[in-house]
Amino acid sequence: MNDLLAARYQMAISLAFHIVYASIGMTMPFFLFVAEYKWIKTGKEVYLNLAKAWSKGVAIFFAIGAVSGTVLSFELGLLWPEFMKHAGPIIGMPFSWEGAAFFVEAIALGLFLYGWKRLNKWIHLGSGLLIGIAGVASGFFVIAANGWMNSPEGFDWINGQAYNIDPVAAMFNAAWISQSTHMTFAAFAATGFGVAGLHAILLLRGKFPEFHRKAYKIALTFGAVAALILPISGDFSAKNVARRQPEKMAAMESLFKTQERAPLLIGGIPNEETQEVKMAIELPGFLSYLAFGKFNAEVKGLNEFPPDEWPPVLLTHISFQLMVLFGMIMATIAVLYFVFSIQWKKILEKSLWLKILAFATPLGFLAIETGWMVTELGRQPWIIYRIMRTEDALTSMPGIVYPLLVISGIYLILTFLSFFLMRRQIQFIHEQANTNGS
């Protein structure tokens, strides 16, 4: 494996790993907040138990998210020093804000996790909310840096050097708000469906129904609201991409030739050689509508761009199709959940419904991963869009396949260990509940 590919894999694996834990760490505190608030308001013990049980999960996921985030702050330089040398002073600003927000998050987490007995309950509740707010803020800030890679602004690029650097313009780049908004709701949807699915699985096993039912409802309410917002924030993102990065849009939808009334493809396998797409369902004009709000608008195809500037069409296309599929399934479940909650509450107790939720457990995370594949693969071959090629940012240290193997091995072990620990937590909580007879 050549060094460029190894470095790209290492970055992809590190980010794919981190994003799961970071998403849980920044959204689940809100679930905790609701559970604890309900406990304070109703005095029902089950909400307190729920908040405590969840907080242990958050503690583990947060720790893994924090260390893998620390690793990323070094990996940017270990793998892409040429990129960081130029980009550091331009996009350092969002990183500074992210660092500050993350710091607040970590302190609030310490107060929350260890302060059950020492803090006044309202201060404790407030610390829970603060973890979430600071967490979401840190995620929102750091995506500004990625937005800048897609929409590089705030500098003049002359002979391979950046001049007239304006960090504020760089931070407020055209891609930031749409990317950050979409990702924030995606994190809520993924964590909401993930947590709800887990409790649905436990409900199906018939253990402690009151506890798990209350748990899944809090989680799914967050997840479902987010899942309904995602198509809107996604549309906002798609229009933004179509305007700024037409070749990414063309790759997402495998549009090889510029055309008016461009069709939206559902599914399909594109072939870059023959420039054909097999087995796709075509909806004429819908891509034009999706990208520009008019059915007969012209959408640029890949033929407008030199082939050595094409993103990998097949992977970008499939990732996009999968992301949309996962998102649509979640949105459908969300609609059903609200309809059932208002009109047919009894259905929410049925095992078929719980099975649907159990099936949806990983969907949000899969949507996040495939969505980031679209963002990152769709920007290739550039690390800074139309400014610096990914290969030119690479470290000069050879043998990157070795750190790649090490990091992959470690993250694989940690993935297994986090499942292992979750199981043990659940087992322990059930055993405790059995001995307490509640």
Partner 1 sequence: MIELTIIFIGISVLLYVLLGGADYGAGIIEIFTGSKRMNTISKAIAPVWEANHIWIIVVIVILFNAFPEVYSTVTMYLHIPLMLVLIGIIFRGTAFAFRYYDPFQDRSHKIYTLLFKIFSLFTPFFLGVTLGAVILGNLTTDNTLSFHDRFIAPWLNLFPFSLGIFIVVLFTYLAAVYLIGESSDNESRKQFSRYSIRLLIALVFSGAFVFVSAQVNGLNLLDMYLHSGISISCAIIATVLLPVFLYALRKGMKNMMRIIAGAQTAAILTGWFGIQYPVLVVLNNTSSLTVYNTVAPAKTLLMMIIALVVGLAFVIPLLLYLFRVFKFTKGEEI
Quick one: which of 351, 54, 38, 341 has its CA closest to 200?
351
| Residue among 77, 231, 267, 362 that touches partner 1 (CB under 8 A) | 77
Stretches 71-79, 179-187, 196-204, 321-329: which one binds partner 1 (CB under 8 A)?
A: 71-79
For partner 1, which stretch binds (CB under 8 A), given 195-203, 213-221, 324-332, 395-403?
395-403
Beta carbon nearer to partner 1, 19 or 333: 19
Q: Is 4 one of the binding residues for partner 1 (CB under 8 A)?
A: no
CB 38 within 8 A of CB 44: yes
Strands 382-384 and 388-389 turn out to be antiparallel
Name the minimum Å distance from CB 391 to partner 1: 15
90 is an interface residue for partner 1 by CB under 8 A = yes
Residue 205 engages partner 1 in binding (rule: CB under 8 A): no
13, 15, 115, 405: residue in contact with partner 1 (rule CB under 8 A): 115
In eight-state DSSP terms, residue 285 is T
Among 135, 138, 99, 101, smallest CA distance to 27 is for 135
User: H or E stretch including 76?
Assistant: helix 45-79
Q: Which stretch binds partner 1 (CB under 8 A): 76-84, 197-205, 223-231, 337-345?
A: 76-84
Separation of alpha carbons 229 and 52, rounded Å? 29
The rounded distance, in Å, linking the Cα atoms of 251 and 228 is: 26
Among 4, 48, 71, 266, binds partner 1 (CB under 8 A): 71
Q: How far is the CB of 263 from partner 1 (least distance, A)?
A: 44
Question: Site map for partner 1, 338-377, x if CB under 8 A?
Answer: ----------------------------------------
Among 396, 435, 436, 437, binds partner 1 (CB under 8 A): 396
The answer to whether 101 contacts partner 1 (rule: CB under 8 A) is yes
Q: In terms of DSSP bridges, do strands 264-271 and 259-260 run parallel, antiparallel, or are they unpaired?
A: unpaired
Q: How many CB atoms neighbour CB 413 within 10 A? A: 10
Cβ(289)–Cβ(295) below 8 Å: yes
* Three-class SS state of 321: helix
Amino acid of residue 247:
E
| Site stretch for partner 1 (CB under 8 A), options 166-174, 224-232, 346-354, 364-372 | 166-174
Stretch that binds partner 1, among 164-172, 181-189, 305-313, 372-380 (CB under 8 A): 164-172
Task: Single out the residue of 12, 15, 48, 84 in contact with partner 1 (rule: CB under 8 A).
Answer: 84
Interface of this chain with partner 1, residues 406 to 425, rule: CB under 8 A: 406, 410, 414, 417, 421, 424-425
158 lies in the binding site for partner 1 (CB under 8 A): no
Binding to partner 1 by residue 119, rule CB under 8 A?
yes
CA distance 435 to 424: 16
Residues 6+ away with beta carbon under 8 Å from 306: none
Nearer Cβ to partner 1 (86/199):
86
DSSP tag of 345: G
**Residue 401 in contact with partner 1, rule: CB under 8 A:** no
Contact stretch for partner 1 (CB under 8 A) within 32-40, 69-77, 237-245, 325-333:
69-77
CA–CA distance, 286 with 206 (Å, rounded to integer): 46
Report CA Rg, the chain: 23
Q: Which residues contact 232 (CB under 8 A, 6 or more apart)?
A: none
Rounded to whole angstroms, the Cα distance separating 31 from 219 reads 6
Does the protein bind partner 1 through residue 64 (CB under 8 A)? Answer: yes
CB 10 within 8 A of CB 400: yes
Q: Tell me the closest approach of the beta carbon of residue 358 to partner 1, in angstroms.
A: 24
CA 123 to the chain's CA centroid: 30
Please report whether residue 114 would count as binding partner 1 according to CB under 8 A: yes
Binding site for partner 1 (CB under 8 A): 56, 59-60, 62-64, 66-71, 73-78, 81-82, 84-90, 92-93, 95-97, 99-104, 106-111, 113-115, 117-119, 165-168, 395-399, 403, 406, 410, 414, 417, 421, 424-425, 427-428
